[in-house]
Structures are given as structure tokens and as C-alpha cells.
Amino acid sequence: MKKLQTLVAQLVVLILALLSVPSSLAVTLAPLPGPVQKIYDRTDKAVLEGRPGASWLWGPRVQDSQEDYKESPNGKRQVYYFEKGRLEITNPAKDPNDKYYVTSGLLLREMITGQEQTGDNQTIYHGPANVPLAGDFNPGVKDSPTYASLLNLVSFDGSWKSNDLTGKPVTLVLGLGGAVRTQSELAQGVTIAQYVSQTGHNVAKPFIDFMNKTGTVYQNGQYVANQPVFDPLYVFGLPISEPYWSHVTVAGKEQYVLVQAFERRLLTYTPANQEPYKVELGNLGLAYVQWRYQSAPVATDNTDPGYAPPAETDGFKLYNKINSAMQTLTSVKRVINSGGQVVSTRLYQAPDRELLQDAVVYRGQPAIREVIYIGKRIYQRYNPTGKPAGSWFFMDSETSFSWPQNYSFFSNVSINDWSQNWEAGAPVQAGADVVQPLNSSTTDIDGSKYNRTRLVSTKNNVLVNYSINRTLPDNSQLSQNEAFGEYNAPLNIQPPAGAQAVSAVGQDWQAAVSPLIGTDLDLQHLRESIQPQRVLVKFKNSLSTQSFSSLKADFDTQYTALSVAKGWENTGSNLPVLYYVNDANMVETLASLRSNPLVEYAEPDYRRQNFVTQFNDPRYADQYYLKAVRAPRAWDASTGSKNITVAVIDSGADTENPDLKGNIAEGFNSYDDSNLITDMGGHGSWTTGIIGAIGNNGVYGSGVAWNSRLMVIRASGDDPETFSDSSIIKALHYATDHGARVINMSLGSSQDDPALRDAVAYATGKGVVVVVASGNNGSNVPQYPASYPKVVSVGATGWLGQPTNFSGFGGTVTLTAPGVSICNTVRLGLFTCADGTSASAPIVSGAAALILAVNPQLNADQVRAILIASVKPVPGKQPGQRDDKYGYGALDIATAVRMAATNQIPGLPA
């Protein structure tokens, strides 16, 4: 026994010497504390005593350390490193018999993300570890992966998930830098045995068998046979990656080893080993010591600087704790007070019901609007003050209302999507309860400043109150207060008797739909309302331009209620005609127009929303997203060209903003046929700045293509957040006809309008690169114009490079770009941050402008092909393979510009 212990000690010294660990670490180590020794002995004592078949769980002891940890006494905790892991005592005052008195840490998370944990919510960024995942620490093959190679292939919180591949062979090969390829012959019978839904990863059968094996363990002073060797969740945690084969050297011999990362451990499977040593724990403790104590290099790139994602602060934790608590409720009452008056009362009942009563003005009179949501059906009626209540009518949505699981107000947020600055305050007494405040201060893109406060009960973490104070740009104040209560009270929300379908409401159809606009229920078809009494009519192509005037005269005679809108009198037969429907039944008029043999189509003039979601303040002014897409390296080749015009169809722009003024070369208002492009909402100024805000001028930040020529087209009317199809159609034709090479549209809806489809086809047919946001609906419901042929549809990623929870997805998404905390110019000469695919699209439009700047001879298809071929591939997939959330992958501007500059012009994917 003594001889074996001596050999182990010599082995440790040898390992330390080989790894060049500072000699100060190779000291005599004190005996382990009892609770740590107990955990160690349970499995590893058998190895020290030479029992057959025993294998290391912790391995030889390497180093003891006193390390900084905010929550520990005096800010220090005791840590014990072993070859294959670490054990630590964070709080010695706890009960030593508690299962979690000794913990093992999330070493893999730290090494992969580069974030050294120095407190529950405190980290120091080192950069991901360039230490080999398996095999020799000085690998003899150049593509041997490191911990840094897993950075884009792991998910810690299930924010993105792999498909369930149970029973499928393991054929993926991981290379240096995260490269993934398929090599079917490597499977050697190894298959996926289990899919873990919490983190969305598959686990290889050898690892499942290993974690669940039974054997002899040492406990209570004796060896006990036929016991579970491991507590899998405590020892390994959940899987955070897929299993990958890796090309490594072991003692200088090349071979393929299967590796898989879990929250707390790395497992390896070496087919060439003898049983029971095929599956082993990776040398995580040694690798971590190398990384943390800087005796091995970290993953750094001086040309492409990295950025640190936000940390899980107390505010972040409390925000999600509230939402988690609210999602456990079966019912709740929410009373909204504005200006000292109750304006809305809402009752929510699980799983799919809501009753709301809003104070509104209906036909010029005060009224109460009642709406009942039950699954996919929406009921509504009006109760005018002093008059009999109106009749109930209903309409059906495409998606079912779900409460509280899918209700956005109570949704948890991952670090990938975090863009708010909620800060937890000190608890205060509030009557019989003690509440803790959660405060947020933000600046909106329209220049408004918001102060928000959530009050949460410390008894059960449910929301008690939510208040909003808004300071408008003119310094006037608006406030709103929301009280929550009557949790889990018995409710009985039922469908009202005698309700009629909305199509039967007749003349009141438009009046019935319009008041639904602006409710907090995220139903796209309600928010994308129809412009009041406006219709787009496209006449058949067989009609000549010469006959158009007589045709119009016939229509004036036949449809006495129709009148041509201003600016649409002489559109000719290549464009639809926008008509006002005056004092007529919209439903009947549409039916009549569609049945007319001269009409190709007749569609309502749909509204489309901009795709901006949450907002934030300027603390993110470092513009991390430029680094994420490698724009700084691309700028070595080009910062844009004044010979390339990028058109932005949006809400206008702040022409006096110092970061935009020099690049806006042309403006047009497609809503009222004027040159007025003043931005009343801030959205257009934001998207325009993301594309082409002037760089290197000492003002605010930079656009992606900051030396480009910008054409600003305002397509919004009085409401800067919505855009009528008629305005978008005219804008597309104007931009195309006036020389735009790239058109950006950060807008859309779920309505497929043939008139809009034709206008997009006109632009793409003329060789324009049309870039469109995929939408913020967080679903695969198709959005238009993003789903039209030949457009570049862009989804949003967050801080960790993973798709955001709001990003629209589906088979038409082309690629992704950052969409969380995107900071740039807004109206009133300001600079602030916001979220949305509205930001992702202009980042890609800027990339298209840079591609054309270095190679203006490229056509639109070639630009699209370069954007696709140059992406960072979808995690876990080979280049060229797409995914409904990532598209073909994440935007990489530097590679795209390099391809254009060296005439590497790929073909479009089939």
C-alpha cells in the first residue's frame, strides 16, 4: 500500500513537470478534509489499493488552492484539484453531512466559454481554453480539438436544441476550431442511446452505460458490491454537447476517440482500449489548472477581438425567478391603471383562457370592450356607457392562446437573449408582505426614457406590481401601474352564448377588428390590421396601357364607391392601383372585385410591422455585434463605396444625426409622394445607422458599411411602426428604378399579398439584393416579404451566437446575424440599443454593400451565394447544410468580403 502511494505521488510530480506547472505548486499537500476524503474514497480508494477493474473518478491529487469566491467567508474558498476533476468547499459553515457541502464546479463551462467563475454571479474573462480535449497535451495531429473548439457547439440552458437521434450511429467528427464533418466508418457500432430534453443533446450509448454502471464502492468503512457507482446528475450533470469523434494522439499514436461534454465532466470512449477502460473521464482537472494558472495558451485572436457576454446578475436571476413563479399559477387578476384611472382588467386562467375588459372610445362614446380568448377563438363585444351591451362576435387565429407557459410577460430569458438592465433592490415592508423591487432604466429608439419597477413578494416570488414611467422627448410624463393578485382563485371563463362569426358582422367588420390592435396578445394577424377602407387592385396583364384610362372609367361607373388614391392615378399596368373604398361594405367590395374578369387580384392594403422588440440603454455602446460578425477584419479590405447605393425602406431617418448626415444621399416618402423622410419613431434611423453610420469620426459608433451611399425611403404614415403594402410597393419600385444595389426591409407580417410579391420580384428581377428580417414571432409561421423567392431572410442570434427566443424561423431563413442589444443611431440625434431581427437584417445589408464595394461586377445571385457560402456553419452540421433556426449559418463578413475580393464565387445551394 505504501509503495503504491509513493508511486502515485511520483506520478503526480511527473505530470506537473510535463505540464510546466509552476514549481511552487509541487508542494506537500495536507490531508483532505473528511467530507472531501469521503467522496474521493468512495470510488478512487479501490484504485489506490489495486483492486481489479477499478478506475479513477477523481484521479491523483494535483493541487490545493485558496481561490477568490465572492460568497465565501472573506471572499476565499478552499479548492482541491485532481487529475480528472475538482472538489471545493464554498461555505465551511454549512452542515458537512449535506450532499452539496462539497461541490465539483462547472469546470467545462468555464473553459469552453472562457469565463472563470469567481462568485455565484461574478466571472473573469480569460478566453476559451486551447487545451486538447483528449489524448496527449502536445497533440501530434494539427486538427486535434481543444475545449475552445466546443464554444459554438454547446448549449447550457436549452436555448437551442439538437434533434432527437436515438438509435442513430455517431458519425460526427470535431476538429480544431469547431469544424464538424461526417465520417460514417468511425461509428463502429456506437449509437445514440438517449436524448436529454433539458439541454437538447443526444448521449452516446457507451457513456449512458458508463454513468449507470454498478460495481464495488467504499462507504461506511467497507467495500460494498453491486452499488450504483455514480450519482449521474451530481457527478456528470446534463450533456451540453453532442458526442463527437476527435482525431488525437495517445502516447504519440494517432487514433479517433469519442468525446462528449457534460456540465461537470468530459467523457471519452477509446475503442482500442480493453474493458473496462474503454470509457474514461477526461483529464479535466489537469486541463483546468493549465488554463486557469496560465501554463497553457488560451484561444486569442488579436485581429478579431472577442467580447464578454453579460453575467447572470442578481437582477437576471430575480427576473427569471418571478417569471418561473408566475408560470406555476392556475389563474391571476391583472388591473392596469393609467393616469389615476383603471383602464383595463384582465383575468388569466390556465391553460388557454383570458377575459379582458378595457375602457375604450367606441363610435365617439365611452365604452367597455370585452374580449375572451379560449384557445384559438377570440370573442369580443362593446358595452357603451348608458346603453345596452352590443352583440358578441368571434374570429379564429392561426395559433392557440396559451397561459401562462407561452405568455410573453411571464417568459424566462436566457443569457443569450438578455438585453435589459434590471437591478435588484433591497426588500421593503409592504403591509403584511415583504417585497423586493426590480428596477430598469432604458432609452427607447424614439427618444423616450423608461423607468420600470417590478415588485415581487418574497414569500412566494410572485409579481405584486409592475409600474412604468415614461418621459417623452418633450419631457412630458406618462405613467402606468399594473397590480397583480387573486392568485389561483377559482375562475370559470366560458364562451358567450349567441356569438356570431366576424364575417357575419357586415358593415361593422372593420370597426370590429380595428380595436383589437395594440392588445398585448401576440397574434400577428390582429396587429397587422388592414388599412381602413383601402384596397390594391391589379388588372390583368392582357390589358394595354392605352386601355387603362377607359378601364378606369368603366370601374368608376361600375364601382361608384371606389376612388383612386393620390399618387396612384398613372401607375400603368405593371403596378396595382390603390383605391379607397368609400362608405361601402369592404367584404362585399373585395368579393365583387375578385370576381371581375378584368382583375388579376384584389387585396386589402395590409399593414406590416417593424421587427424591433425589447430596448436597452447605451451601456452596450461597444457594439459587440461588429466583432461577432468580424466586421473589423473586413474593413481591412473595404469600408464601403459611395458607388454602391443601399436603400432602407423604413420609417425615415434622422437626417441631422451627426453619424448619418454625411452618408444619406437621397430621400423619398412613398406614403405621400414627397421628400419628407423625418423619422417619427426612431426605427428607420436605427436600421439606417446599423448599415451605414459613419465610422472613425469620433461620433457615437459605426455602421457595418460606413462609407456607403444611403437612400432613405419613408414608407410609414402617421404610425411610424406600421407600413402599408401600397407604400412598400411604391418604395421597392422607386429604389430599384433609382439605382439601389441593396434594399433593406426590417418589416413584415404573416399576410401573403400578391401585390407585394410582385414588387419584390420586380426588384430581384432587376438584380437588386433584397434583405428582409425574418420576424419576431418566435415561430415558424411564414412572414412576408421574408418568405418570398430570392430574398435574403435574416434571423437573429444573441450574445452566445445562438438563435434568440423571438427570432422567426422556418424553411426560408437564409442566415442569422446578431439581434440582441444592437446599438446605433436613433432619432433626435441620439444613440441607443434595441433588439430584434430588425437589426439582424441591416447587418447583413451592410455586409452585402461591402461585398459589392470590393467587387461591383457581382450580380444579386452571386452576392446571395457568397453570403451563404461564407457563413459560420450551423453548429453540429457541415458547411452548406441548413437549419430552420440558423439558416445556412451565422454571418461572417470577413470571409464574405475575402471571397468577393479574390473572385471566389460559389453557386447558390440547390
| Residues annotated as catalytic (active site), given as ranges | 650, 683, 838
What residue type is 598 in one-letter code?
L
> Residue 82's CB: how many other CB atoms inside 10 A?
24
Separation CA 869–CA 896 (nearest Å): 8
Q: Which three cell numbers stand for residue 565?
A: 388614391
| b (16+ CB within 10 A) / e for 286-321 | bbbbbbbeeebebbeeeeeebeebbbbbebbebbbb
Find cell 452505460 and name the residue. Answer: 209
C-alpha 617: how far from chain center: 19
Measured between alpha carbons, how far apart are the two ends of the chain, in Å? 67
Separation CA 292–CA 287 (nearest Å): 9
Separation CA 737–CA 383 (nearest Å): 51
Separation CA 517–CA 523 (nearest Å): 10
Give CA angle at 141 (138, 144), nearest 5°. 80
Residue 568's closest CA among 558, 560, 577, 559?
577
Separation CA 620–CA 821 (nearest Å): 7
Separation CA 257–CA 139 (nearest Å): 13
- What torsion, rounded to 10 degrees, do the Cα atoms 867, 795, 524, 587 define? 10
> Residue 697's CB: how many other CB atoms inside 10 A?
12
Separation CA 838–CA 342 (nearest Å): 34
Backbone dihedral region for residue 364 (phi beyond 0: left; psi -120 to 50: alpha; all else: beta): left
Separation CA 792–CA 9 (nearest Å): 61
Separation CA 865–CA 848 (nearest Å): 11
Are 56 and 83 in contact by the 8 Å Cβ rule? The answer is yes
Within 59-213, strands assigned E span 61-68, 76-82, 85-89, 115-119, 122-125, 172-174, 180-182, 192-196, 201-204
> Residue 727's CB: how many other CB atoms inside 10 A?
26
Q: What are phi and psi of 290, to 5 degrees?
A: -55, -50
Residue 185 per-residue DSSP state: G
Which positions ≥6 away from 713 have C-beta within 8 Å? 647, 648, 649, 650, 667, 668, 669, 670, 677, 731, 734, 735
Q: What are phi and psi of 596, to 5 degrees?
A: -75, 125
Residue 56's closest CA among 257, 282, 209, 252?
282
Separation CA 655–CA 845 (nearest Å): 20
Give CA angle at 730 (729, 733), nearest 5°. 90
Number of C-alpha atoms within 13 angstroms, CB side, residue 593?
A: 30
Q: How far is CA 120 from CA 69, 90, 225, 311, 314, in A?
A: 8, 10, 38, 10, 9
Residue 606's closest CA among 479, 458, 704, 747?
747
Q: 616, exposed or middle or buried, with CB in 10 Å at 0-12, 13-18, 19+? A: buried
